[in-house]
Amino acid sequence: MQQFQVSVLEQQFAVWILYFFAYAFVGWLWESGYVSVRKRRWTNSGFLIGPVVPVYGFSMMAVLAVIEPFENNVVVLYVLSALLITVIEYVTSWLMEKLFHARWWDYSQIPLNLNGRVALPISLFWGFGVVVIVKWIHPLISQVVLHLSTTYGLFAGIVLIAILMFDCGFTVANAMAFGAATKRIGDTIEAKKLELRERLADESTKLDQDRNWLEAYRNSSDETRRGLRLNYVQRRLLRSFPTLKLKETSTPANDIVKMMELLRKKQK
């Protein structure tokens, strides 16, 4: 009897782990697809290297654990889902900003936002999305998850957790140095812009942010460009978050992306 209970607990644990990864993957598909359409090229929009966005996994686990009993009441399901995911999104935004000194998404331009971390229109969308998932998508995912947990048991969950932990460690280690690296590049860009402004005889002339400073830097010496490098993970993070706001520098993230593209062309 005790062995049977342990076996049941193991399967339940495996099911929840697989639910986490299933919805983390679905979230990654949604985020990457949305950003890719906006940028008109495929973009891995996740914070991690692998095809998962953990906040979606945690959010849906919370939904399934707390809200699913109300699945037959669409109004309650909608309202509670919107509230729950809004809280998770706000806390995640705050924690990531404190840890990595960057605002990874920003809703400041969206009406009825709270500190740019969450916004009412976005929350209403999340509520609608959860209703769609619980009503139509979850039954399909549930079948796959139950099959995998029955076939592979804890093994699949343990392997996925091990891969996730490695990805988290590798990405976080690079992200911790992200602020200092982008600050060096930002300081260089701002110095070049200041130099150009000082050269302008006509004070009414507006500096072309997109061309003049970049063209001036293109013609600078190799000595000036030393130390201005981002590794693969840092470059990917810079490109993956369209509304990224860096706390260590006032330079827009888009300017740093242009600088990185220039440096890569110089290397070829």
Q: Tell me which H or E stretch contains 113.
A: strand 113-114
Residue-range definition of the domain harbouring residue 245: 178-267
Q: Are residues 76 and 16 in the same domain?
A: yes
DSSP conformational letter for 245: E
Q: Stretch 105-129: mean pLDDT, rounded?
A: 95
Q: For 120-173, how does the pLDDT look when each residue is reduced to its tens digit (9 = 90+)?
A: 999 999 999 999 999 899 999 999 999 998 888 788 889 999 999 999 999 999
The domain boundary, picked from 171, 206, 221, lies at 171
Burial label, 209 (beta-carbon count in 10 A; 0-12, 13-18, 19+): middle
Q: What is the pLDDT of residue 86?
A: 96
Q: Are residues 66 and 167 in the same domain?
A: yes
The domain boundary, picked from 171, 203, 234, lies at 171
Q: What is the pLDDT of residue 210?
A: 46
Q: Model's pTM, two decimal places?
A: 0.84
Q: For 186-204, how does the pLDDT look when each residue is reduced to its tens digit (9 = 90+)?
A: 888 887 777 766 666 554 4
Q: Are residues 104 and 166 in the same domain?
A: yes
DSSP conformational letter for 246: E
Average pLDDT, the chain: 84
Return d(Cα 131, Cα 74) in angstroms, integer.
7
Q: Are residues 130 and 196 in the same domain?
A: no
Q: Are residues 73 and 20 in the same domain?
A: yes
Higher pLDDT, 187 or 27: 27
Q: What is the pLDDT of residue 40?
A: 86
Higher pLDDT, 241 or 24: 24
Q: Are residues 148 and 43 in the same domain?
A: yes
The domain boundary, picked from 171, 201, 229, lies at 171
Q: Are residues 166 and 182 in the same domain?
A: no
Q: What is the pLDDT of residue 120?
A: 96
Q: Are residues 91 and 6 in the same domain?
A: yes
Got the DSSP string for 4-73?
A: HHHHHHHHHHHHHHHHHHHHHHHHHHHHHHHHHHHHTS----SSSSSS--HHHHHHHHHIIIIIGGGTT-
How many independent structural domains does the chain possess?
Answer: 2
Q: For 54-98, how does the pLDDT look when each residue is reduced to its tens digit (9 = 90+)?
A: 999 999 999 998 887 787 899 999 999 999 999 999 999 999 999
Q: Are residues 72 and 139 in the same domain?
A: yes
Q: Are residues 56 and 105 in the same domain?
A: yes
Q: Are residues 75 and 197 in the same domain?
A: no
Q: What is the pLDDT of residue 268?
A: 54
Report residue 69 as tokens.
């009993």
Q: Are residues 42 and 130 in the same domain?
A: yes
% of the chain surpassing 90 pLDDT: 44
pLDDT above 50: residue 3? no
Q: What is the pLDDT of residue 238?
A: 86
Cβ atoms within 10 Å, residue 114 = 12
